[in-house]
Structure 1
Amino acid sequence: MSAFMLIDLAVLLFVAAAVLALLFSFHRGLSGLLAGVGGAVACGMVIAVAAGLLTGRTASGESAVLYLPQLIRLTPLNAVWLLAIALPGFFISLYNVAWHRHAQVKVNGLLVNLLMAAAVCTIVASDLLTLVVMAEIMALCGAFLTGCAQSGKLWFTQGRIGTLLLAAACWLLWQRYGTLEITGLAARFVDEGPGTAIWLLWLVGFGMLAGIIPLHGWVPQAHAGADAPAAALFSGVVMKVGLFGLFVLPLLAGQAMPLWWGLGLLLLGAVTAFVGGLYALMEHNIQRLLAYHTLENIGIILLGLGAGLTGVALGQPALIALGLVGGLYHLINHSLFKTLLLLGAGSVWFTTGHRDIEKLGGIGKRMPVISLMMLVGLMAMAGLPPLNGFAGEWVIYQGFFSLSSSDLFIARLLGPLLAVGLAITGALAVMCMAKVYGVTFLGAPRTPEAANARRAPWLMTASVVGLAVCCLIGGIASPWLLPLLSAAVPLPLTTTSVVSQPMIALLLIACPLLPFIIMMLFKGHRLPSRSRGAAWACGYEHEQSMVITAHGFAMPVKEAFAPVLGLRKRLNPVALMPVWQHAAPALVRRLALVELAVLVVIVISRGA
């Protein structure tokens, strides 16, 4: 079966699973089972197509298919994004089967599978109009999954602004070039680039969907109150599709792209990464905290891809390769470890009913497997070896070193500064890792719900374990996996390294083990003679209230960066537009439903 037919069948299966989930919504368990199994099988098909494209077993090209009302465009670059959304989608679908067993959970199989179908169609679209329409359908499905009228209203309003900007950009492109076909535009951009006005409209429109700061208002709101599978879809799928749409235009422009496009993306990435990491450290709602860390990692991906685009404008092959490969690898890695963390946090909520980490504590003893997997995910998020978060960031660092050796003064200046900024962001991530794991999983329970926590259902646990294994493989096997991404970079990449790939893998494994080996050598003989006693508290009896809290952990950083943190209140998107506060949430949801229905009818009518 061809790759085009597999994509066609995968989208058809997503839609069929969505319809079946709706038809059997009166039976929560059956609806979740049909939606989850159908979504998982469809994601498996998409993963197979992406793997074939990256390994060279499947040829690139465009083709019409039987069921989809659009031409399908498959390239190695598309394959990276297909892999980045289908891998988390597979585990989210399986997890969602068990999620439906909770009495407070609403049936979501219809929206989850429609969102995945629209996301796949966005990435394989052969023209920009279809890309924008499918991204709009995906975003509307996401707005209904937020679980909160206020956050859904904010997302809907921001999304309509973004859609208007993208529609204006498409109209300007049509007026100038007479086509919106991706291949046709690529040929015309050789002589003349798209221009500043079109790029700015495109950047802001898809920047809102991708969550680039300061266009990120919907991201923490949507994550905070959403169900865990929905929040994982926002981070692992929706925002990644926003990045895909954003980078379509500059990649088509190629050498016609101005240098300031790449440099601007580098600066936006640096701001997004730092501010996202800083705000995350201040949060106590674990899903809102992870949402801000998603913003941080969106910034890191922007740093890598922005470095690659800067290399395109400067004509530097090494910078193109390092920037694009590092950014694309981190794109996939972030989808994996952030989905792991959000699903792990959902498992904790499933048994305790709390998302506030101050109300947890001691979860590690009651949910040992989830606790260990969350530690793996947090270490990956902090960029620690041998996990996958380290590999992509390391390649991006190499890209900054290459940027600093450029002949252009601004590039030589930005290279070291961006490397230092990324290092500071990494330090914030390590602090957040210690805060989340220490406050949530260690110590004594702070509430009766935490004390009575039980193990999550086996399918939830299996999904989280599978994601943790992927994170470990993505780090240890990075010497073999990174070269596969060279197919997505339009350069003949070769290596002259004298270090073997197995040796690099062994070094990655040895890095985290080395401190423990040294400890055993110097203190191993003293361990059997240890004695246990009460904790010393300056002469006072130790009480559980004396342990450090999440608020106290973040206080030094909060005081140091008070001016930056104050911007969150002054630039609140809801406060800036008071009309949102008074608009009826039910009216907004009805408008979103009408728009979604109209777009679906248009898509179906095109295929009729």
Structure 2
Amino acid sequence: MMALFALEPASLLALALLIWLVSGVAGGVFSAAARLSGLISGLGGMVASAAVIVAAFEIVHRGGAVQAVALPVLPFTAEFSPLNGVLLLAMSVTALFCSLYACAWLAGTTSRKRSRTGLLCHLLMAALTAAAVANNAIELLVMMELAALCAYFLIVQTDDVKSRRAGLNQFLSGRLGTVCLILAFTVLHHVSGSLDFDVLRHTAFPAGAKSLAFLLALAGFGLYAGIIPLHAWVPQSHSSAPAHAAALFSSVLMKIGIIGIVKVGLDLLGAPPLWWGLMVLLLAILTAFIGGLYALMEHDIRRLLAYHTLENVGIILLGVGGAMTGVALNLPELAALALLAGLFHLFNHGLFKTALFLGAGEIEMQTGIKDMEKLGGIARLMPWTAVAMLVALMSMAALPPLNGFASEWLLYQSLFQLSAAPLFIARLLGPLLAVGLALTGALALMCVAKVFGVTFLGAPRSKAAEEATPAPLAMTLSSVLLAMLCIVFGVASSWIIPHFAAVAASVLNAPVLQAAQHGAVFSATSAVSAPMVALLLLGMPLLPWIIAAVLRGARLPNRLRGEAWACGYGHSADMVVTATGFTQPLRVMFGPLYRLRQHVMPAKLVSTLHQGWLGAFCRRLAFIELAVLLVVAFA
């Protein structure tokens, strides 16, 4: 039996899929024993994720052309390519730390929730792993639909009005996305006579069929990825599901949608026309800016992070749209640099956003609170969680020398190259998109100040916040290790970027970008050495401290610590800045944009959609569909 699972990517993937399924079922069987069930599910998920990480490294390292490989034991043929390898790597690193978090979380919840959450999360990861390496449209759609249904049942576990509404939104969005994808691949099948990706890749499609299929695929994958205005399911779903499941939604499920756009727009359909790239760029900057703007208005910490996921989806799509535009304009360096930036940010987003969701889950577990207005002072009570979330928040805001900065800097460089393109529309859009990305970064910085300041600093604003204690070791370790990876992938980005450049080159069938091979986050116009930035950032604060320590002598006694005060008055919790007060100026400034949601989704339409009978009907339909898909998948 062990010979079947030699250290080959196909064998490792098959082993991982089997471990996810077996450990998910076993965790449910032993759900009455809290600690045992949590360990079975958590450790099983960690082992499966580790196997996929090794397989993904091997796939990316091998590079080369796309290969179709049959998985041992399982009746499944996988497609191995560097693009699929990067997606597997981004997904499995997230799943590894979510499984570590789940070891403690599952042990602390009810038996019913423990069995359902463990099994559903494992089914979700198994389905998405299979979708990531699917070699034809039928396998891809079946696995994406199975994953979407697992996500639905993870959302509606807590049977309250909010969760039911979130689940219904996700169910309707997922079914609409699947219908769009079925129509897209039907158009392609009508011309090519096949749904195999290799056949589609070598078929010459008429311009009309090609564009129709792309628009349908953009809508279908866009619903999964949460592109604005197709994002309605995202904020509520991330708030209603368990924290580690929400991290999987953000860093795994939505990434399948992004890679789907890359696959259709740059791989299966050949060279895209210019208007495809321009459309993706405009949708991207809209998603990034609106996502960041709405994030600032949220007080529910997980809804805020969900809106920031939308912002980062937009940032990743700026790279994808830039690559499509570069191909259309026959500018290979622009295309390679933009796609490199998009893929690198896709990976980096998984690291810092998972750390943030897991940190938010730790706070929720220890206080029972998701509303930032009722927190405060958590940093003194949960110091490791505070440090991990601060690092992840800084990475989300693209501050050097963290990984978010490294990938966004590459994206800026690609937009500067777009500004130098010979076509007028490109020269116009390049600066506008760069300014839009800068405004999005400013909104992200405000979110760092809001989340960390209101949640972790100041005085506690509720009894639960005042009595918070550190989270269990496994949960704290999961967010701390991810924060450390954010630092590592930022400081060491000079050595990591060439590997992503090779993946981008394989997608574009172009030479590897030479500018990415010089040990710096670099383009033809400028270079930034991430290790040097890290050394300077460490040295600059230390230098004044060293000078003061050497020169002060006996003139400056050590300061005494006393009670906090403000303008001569004793400090009280009422003086602490609230989340509402912090964002009030923006609420006034961008009032029309915030009110736009009410016009797009009027209250009457929302109340009609969320009638009780429709939710109950969809829930029964989801049970039936999940059962049928499981039979199909295992058959």
Q: TM-score, normalised by structure 1?
A: 0.95
- Secondary structure of the structure 2 residue equivalent to 1:217: coil
CA contact (8 A) 2:200 2:269 kept: no
**Within the alignment, does 1:323 sit opposite 2:338 as a pair?**
yes
For the 8 Å contact 2:243–2:361, the answer to whether it is kept is yes
Match of 1:138 in 2: 147
Residues 1:26 and 2:51 aligned together: no
Contact 1:70 1:126 in 2 (8 A): no
Matched, 1:587 2:602: no
Residue 230 of structure 1 corresponds to which residue in structure 2? 245
Q: What are structure 2's unaligned runs of at least 5 residues? A: 1-5, 157-162, 522-527
Q: How does 1:360-439 map to 2 (within 5 A)?
A: 360-439=375-454
Q: Does 1:509 align with 2:518?
A: no
Q: Distance in 2 between matches of 1:396 and 1:602?
A: 41
SS in 2 for 1:284: coil
Deviation of the 1:3 alpha carbon: 1.1
**Conserved? CA contact 2:37–2:107, under 8 Å:** no
- Higher alpha-carbon deviation: 10-19 or 104-113: 104-113
Alpha-carbon distance between aligned partners in 1 of 2:225 and 2:516, rounded to the nearest angstrom: 36
Residue in 1 that maps onto 2:354: 339
- Comparing 400-409 with 567-576, greater Cα deviation is found at 567-576
Of residues 291, 295, 302 in structure 2, which corresponds to 1:276? 291
Q: Alpha-carbon deviation of 1:573?
A: 8.0
Q: For residue 213 of structure 1, what is the aligned residue in structure 2?
A: 228
Question: How much has 1:104 moved relative to structure 2?
Answer: 5.5
Report the RMSD for the aligned CA atoms in angstroms. 2.2
AA of the residue aligned to 2:512: L
> Which deviates further from its counterpart, 393-402 or 518-527?
518-527
Amino acid at match of 1:509: A
Kept in 1, the 8 Å contact 2:395–2:486? The answer is yes
Q: 1:533 Cα deviation (Å)? A: 5.9
CA 1:587 to 1:189, structure 2 compared with 1: closer, same or farther past 3 Å? Answer: same
In the alignment, the residues of structure 2 paired with residue 173 and residue 498 of structure 1 have an alpha-carbon distance, to the nearest angstrom, of 38
Q: 1:601 to 1:265 in 2, by over 3 A?
A: same
Q: How does 1:244-283 map to 2 (within 5 A)?
A: 244-253=259-268, 255-283=270-298
Asked whether 1:166 is paired with 2:181, we answer: yes
CA contact (8 A) 1:574 1:580 kept: no
Tell me, what secondary structure is at the counterpart of 2:384? Answer: helix
Say whether 1:109 aligns with 2:118. Answer: yes
CA contact (8 A) 1:69 1:603 kept: no
Counterpart of 1:100? Answer: 106
Cα 1:379–1:122, aligned 2, differ >3 Å: closer, same or farther? same
Q: Is the contact between residue 193 and residue 257 of structure 1 (CA under 8 Å) also seen in structure 2?
A: no
Structure 1 residues 553 and 199: alpha-carbon distance in aligned structure 2, compared to 1, 3 A threshold: same
* 1:145 aligned counterpart, secondary structure: helix
Mapped to 2, the partners of 1:428 and 1:464 lie a distance apart of: 24
Q: Which amino acid aligns with 2:281?
A: L
Distance 2:406 2:245 in 1: 27
**Alpha carbons of 1:523 and 1:99: their partners in 2 closer, same or farther (altered >3 Å)?**
same
Q: Which of the numbers 593, 597, 601 marks the counterpart of 1:564?
A: 593
Q: 1:60, CA displacement in angstroms?
A: 5.0
* CA spacing shift, 1:44–1:483, aligned 2, 3 Å: same
Aligned residue for 2:326?
A: 311
- Please report how far the alpha carbon of residue 298 of structure 1 lies from its aligned counterpart in structure 2 after TM superposition: 0.4
Counterpart position of 1:548? 577
What is the CA-CA distance between 1:174 and the residue it aligns to?
Answer: 1.2
Q: Aligned partners of 1:162, 1:269: CA distance in 2, in Å?
A: 18
Instruction: Report how far residue 132 of structure 1 moved.
Output: 1.3
How many residue pairs get aligned? The number is 605
Alpha-carbon distance in 1 for matches of 2:603, 2:172: 10
Residues 271 and 327 in structure 2, CA contact (< 8 A), matched pair in contact too: no
**How far, CA to CA, are the matches of 1:384 and 1:123 in structure 2?**
31
Deviation at 1:218, TM superposition (A): 0.4
Structure 1 distance, partners of 2:229, 2:517, is 44
CA contact (8 A) 2:64 2:81 kept: no
Q: Summarize the Cα distance change of 1:255–1:242 in structure 2 as closer, same or farther, 3 Å threshold.
A: closer
Q: Is the contact made by 2:378 and 2:468 (CA closer than 8 Å) also made in structure 1? A: yes
Question: Residues 85-143 of structure 1: CA distance to partner in whole angstroms, max 9, x if unpaired?
Answer: 10010000111010013245821110000000000111100011211111111111011
Q: What's the % identity of the aligned pairs?
A: 48
- 1:539, CA displacement in angstroms? 5.6
Match of 1:576 among 598, 601, 605: 605
SS at 2:69's partner residue?
strand
Aligned to 2:512: 493
> Kindly tell me: are residues 471 and 194 of structure 1, through their superposed partners in 2, closer, same or farther at Cα, counting changes over 3 Å?
farther
Shift of 1:194: 4.5
Q: For residues 571 and 387 of structure 2, what CA distance do their matches in structure 1 show?
A: 28
Deviation string, structure 1 residues 510-567 (Cα, Å, up to 9, x no partner): 3533552465378765975546666564565543201211111111111111111111
Number of the residue aligned with 1:197: 212
Amino acid at match of 1:456: A
Q: Which runs of 4+ in 1 moved over 4 A?
A: 57-60, 190-194, 496-503, 521-541
Match of 1:598 in 2: 628
- 2:11 maps to which of 5, 13, 23: 5
State the one-letter code of the partner of 2:178: T
Q: TM-score, normalised by structure 2?
A: 0.91
Matched letter for residue 363 of structure 2: V
Deviations 1:278-299 (CA, angstroms, capped at 9, x unpaired)? 1111111100000000000000
**2:192: which partner in 1?**
177
TM-superposed CA distance for 1:447, in Å, is: 0.9
Match of 1:15 in 2: 21
Aligned-residue offset at 1:38:
1.1
Measured after TM superposition, the shift of residue 223 of structure 1 is 0.9
Q: In 2 relative to 1, CA 346–573 (structure 1 residues): closer, same or farther, beyond 3 Å?
A: farther
Range that drifts further, 322-331 or 192-201: 192-201
Q: Name which of 21, 38, 44 aligns with 2:50.
A: 44
Cα distance in structure 1, aligned partners of 2:293 and 2:287: 10
Distance of 1:303 and 1:472 partners within structure 2: 24
Structure 1 residues 345 and 270: alpha-carbon distance in aligned structure 2, compared to 1, 3 A threshold: same
- State the alpha-carbon separation in 2 of the partners of residues 480 and 574 from structure 1: 52
From 476, 500, 519, the equivalent of 1:461 is: 476
Cα distance between partner residues in 1 of 2:331 and 2:281: 16
Change over 3 Å in CA distance of 1:267–1:230 after alignment to 2: same
Whole-Å separation in 2 of the counterparts to 1:528 and 1:199: 70
- 8 Å Cα contact 2:188-2:210 kept in structure 1: no
1:149 alignment partner in structure 2: 164
Shift of 1:577: 5.0
Distance 1:234 1:319 in 2: 31
- Check 1:548–1:89 CA distance in 2 against 1; reply closer, same or farther (3 A cut): same
Cα deviation 1:573-605 (Å, max 9, x = unaligned): 885354322143333222111111111111222
User: Structure 1, unaligned stretches of length 5 or more?
Assistant: none
Determine whether 1:67 maps to 2:73: yes
Counterpart residue number, 2:160: none
Aligned equivalents of 1:394, 1:483: Cα separation in 2: 15
**Of 47-56 and 22-31, the range deviating more from structure 2:** 22-31
> What amino acid is aligned across from residue 476 of structure 2 in structure 1?
T
Aligned to 2:525: none
Q: Provide the residue aligned with 1:287 in structure 2.
A: 302
CA distance in 1: counterparts of 2:517 and 2:17, whole angstroms: 44
Distance 1:42 1:497, change over 3 A: closer
Partners of 1:386 and 1:598 lie apart in 2 by 48
